[in-house]
Structure 1
Amino acid sequence: MTMPSLLLVPGAWHKPEHLQLLIDEMPDIDVHTVALTSCGDDPKSLGDMYSDAAAIKAAVEAIDGPVVVVAHSYGGVPVTQALVGTANVESIVYLAAFQLDAGDSLLSSVGGNSAPWWQLHRTEGVGDYMTVAGPVGVFYGDVDPAIAEKAAAELGYQSYAAITQELTAVAWQTIPSTYIICEADNAIPPFAQELFAQRARKTLRLNASHSPFLSQPSTLAQLLRDELTSAEDPRPSLNGGQRKAA
C-alpha cells in the first residue's frame, strides 16, 4: 500500500520555510506545503481566512492520491473551512491548532479579546494587520536559540481579518481527525487545546512548545508517520485513544 501524501499548513505569521526541519526528517514521504495568503511580507497584499481556505483546497486538489493534512495553530481554521467535500483527504492532524465549529472565528474562540502579544496595526490605506511581541518566548520556548531567532526574523505580517471571520463549513465532522496537544505551549494554553481536542477522534501529546517542528522535528515526524500509516485503517470512535510521545 502506498503511503498517503502529507500537506503541511503553517499557522499565523509563519511560512512554509518554517517547516523545513520537519520536512528534512521525512525524505521518503511525499510532503507538500501551502503558503497562506493571510501571511506575507507586504501588509497591503494580505488575504483573509477564506482566501487561505481556497489556497488549501487548491493544494489538496493538486495532489494525485490520498493525503493527510496537518494544520498548525491558526492553520486549523482555514483547513476546517477548506476540506469539506474533498475526495482525497484521509485525515486531518490539528497540531496545537484551532479546531473550531461552524459560526466560530479564531477571535471568538479566545473570548473576543486580543492576546496581549498580538500587536494590531491600523494604517490608512492598508488593511488591519498584526505583528507579534516577543515571538521567541511565545512560539519557540524550547527551540535552540539560534534556530528560534532565525525563525522569528522570518515571520511575516498577519491579516487581522483572518482571525475575525467565521467558519461556514466544518471538515472534521466528516473527516477523521487527530489532535496533538503541545503541553509546554505559551501561545495556545494547553487547557484550551484540551477543549479543542474533544472534537478530534484521537488525541496525542508532546512535551513541547508551540513549534515542535523546530524543537522536536524527529519526534513530530514519527508521530506523523504513524498517522500516515494508520490513515486508511478503520476509523476509531470519537476520542478513541490517547498516547504521549516520548
Structure 2
Amino acid sequence: MSTLPTLVLVHGAWHGTWCWQPLIDQLPDLDIRTVALPSSGQNPAVLGGLYDDAVAVAKAIAAVSGPTVVVGHSYGGSPVTEAAATTGDVRRVIYLSALMQDAGESVLSQVGGVHPPYWDVHENPQGRAEHSYFEASHPLEILYSDVEPHLAQQSIARLGRQSLASVTQSLTQAAWHTLPSTYILCEQDMAIPLPLQEAMATRAQHTERLRSGHSPFLSQPAELARILRKQLELQP
C-alpha cells in the first residue's frame, strides 16, 4: 500500500459512495475511504442536515490512523469545510467543483438565496423543515453532460433526494482558514457555473483545471486521478 496520505472522498447532493468507483479503480495503490452523507437518500423523513453530514465526515477522518487528504465534491465541500479543521491529521482539503464557503454562509446564501432552477424542491406542507427535500431536475444535462450515456443513465437511476436542511444550515467554521487547500475547477460544469467556481477558488492556495462537466469522477476518472495523486504528493 502507498505511503501517501489516505484519501477521504465526500460526495455531493443526491449521490452516494457509489459515484466514486470509477475514480477508485484508477488509484488501486492508495488507501481510500468514502463517506455516505446522511442528507442524501430516498426517505425524506430520515434525511439529515449539514451538521449531520459534518459528523459523518469527522468520523471518517478520525477512523484513519495517519494523515489524510479530504476531497469534497459539489455540496460535499460544505460538510468538509465544517469538519476537517478540527478532526484528525488532515494535510489538505481539495474542493472538486465544490462549495467553498466561510463561517456563517450556507449553500443557499452562496447562490443568492434562490433555489437554482435544477432543484426540484418539495417543502413539507406541515411546515416541518426537517422533512423538506429537493431532487435533481434534468440530471443528464446538469450533472452528467459529458458522461458516457449508459453510465449516465445508471447514475441517474441511483440518485436520491437531498434534505433542504443541508443547504439552509450555515457553517460554524471553515477549514480552509487553517489547512492547505486546492480547488479543482470543472470548466464545462452546468451545475456550478465556472465564474462562481473561480470566485470561490480565490480562497484556495492552489488551483487545477479540468475540461469536464460536473462529474469528472465518472467522465474523466483517469485525469482526475492524476490530479489527485499530484496533490497527495505535495504533502510532507
Report the TM range for the smaller structure's normalisation.
over 0.9
**Partners of 1:41 and 1:229 in 2: CA distance:** 38
CA RMSD in angstroms comes to: 1.1
> Is residue 230 of structure 2 the alignment partner of residue 226 of structure 1?
yes
**Structure 1 CA distance, aligned partners of 2:51 and 2:140?**
28
Aligned to 1:214, the other structure's residue is in SS state helix
In structure 2, C-alpha distance between the alignment counterparts of 1:83 and 1:211, rounded to whole Å: 23
Deviation of 1:45 after TM superposition, in Å, equals 0.6
Whole-Å separation in 1 of the counterparts to 2:157 and 2:65: 35
Q: Secondary structure at the match of 2:133?
A: strand
| Rounded Cα–Cα distance in structure 2 between residues aligned with 1:123 and 1:173 | 36
- Whether 1:203 and 2:204 are equivalent positions in the alignment is no
Counterpart amino acid of residue 26 in structure 2: E
Matches of 2:118 and 2:13, distance apart in 1: 13
| Mapped contact 2:61–2:88 kept (Cα < 8 A) | no
Quote the offset at 1:42 in angstroms.
Answer: 1.1
Aligned length: 232
Alignment partner, residue 184 of structure 2: 180
Structure 2 distance, partners of 1:84, 1:220, is: 24
1:242 maps to which residue? none
Within the alignment, does 1:213 sit opposite 2:217 as a pair?
yes
Structure 2 equivalent of residue 243 of structure 1:
none
Aligned to 1:237: none
Partner of 2:144: 140
CA distance in 2, matches of 1:123, 1:114: 16
Counterpart AA for 2:85:
V
Q: Which amino acid aligns with 1:17?
A: W
Displacement of 1:231 after TM fit?
Answer: 1.8
Which has the larger displacement, 121-130 or 29-38? Answer: 121-130
Match of 2:64 in 1: 63
Partner residue, 2:83: 82
The equivalent residue for 1:93 is 94
Please report how far the alpha carbon of residue 85 of structure 1 lies from its aligned counterpart in structure 2 after TM superposition: 2.0
Q: CA deviation at 1:124?
A: 4.7
Moved more, 80-89 or 181-190: 80-89
- Secondary structure of the residue aligned to 1:120 is strand
List per-residue Cα deviations over 1:29-52 (Å, max 9, x = no partner). Answer: 001000000001211110000000
Indicate the residue corresponding to 2:7 in structure 1.
6
- Aligned residue for 1:83, secondary structure, equals helix
Give the unaligned 5+ runs of structure 2.
Answer: none
1:162 aligns with 2:163: no
One-letter amino acid matched to 1:66: P
Deviation at 1:75, TM superposition (A): 0.5
* Whole-angstrom CA distance in 2 between matches of 1:107 and 1:175: 24
Q: Show CA shifts across 1:154-213 (max 9, x none).
A: 011100111011111111100000000000000000000000000000010000000000
Q: CA deviation at 1:122?
A: 2.5
The Cα offsets for residues 29-80 of structure 1, whole Å up to 9 and x where unpaired, read as 0010000000012111100000000000000000110010000000001110
User: Can you give the 5+ residue segments of structure 1 that lack an aligned partner in the other structure?
Assistant: 233-246
Query: Percent identity between the aligned chains?
Result: 49
**Cα separation, 1, equivalents of 2:81 and 2:97:** 14
TM-score, normalization: structure 1?
Answer: 0.92
| Structure 2 residue aligned with 1:244 | none
- Structure-2 residue corresponding to 1:128: 132
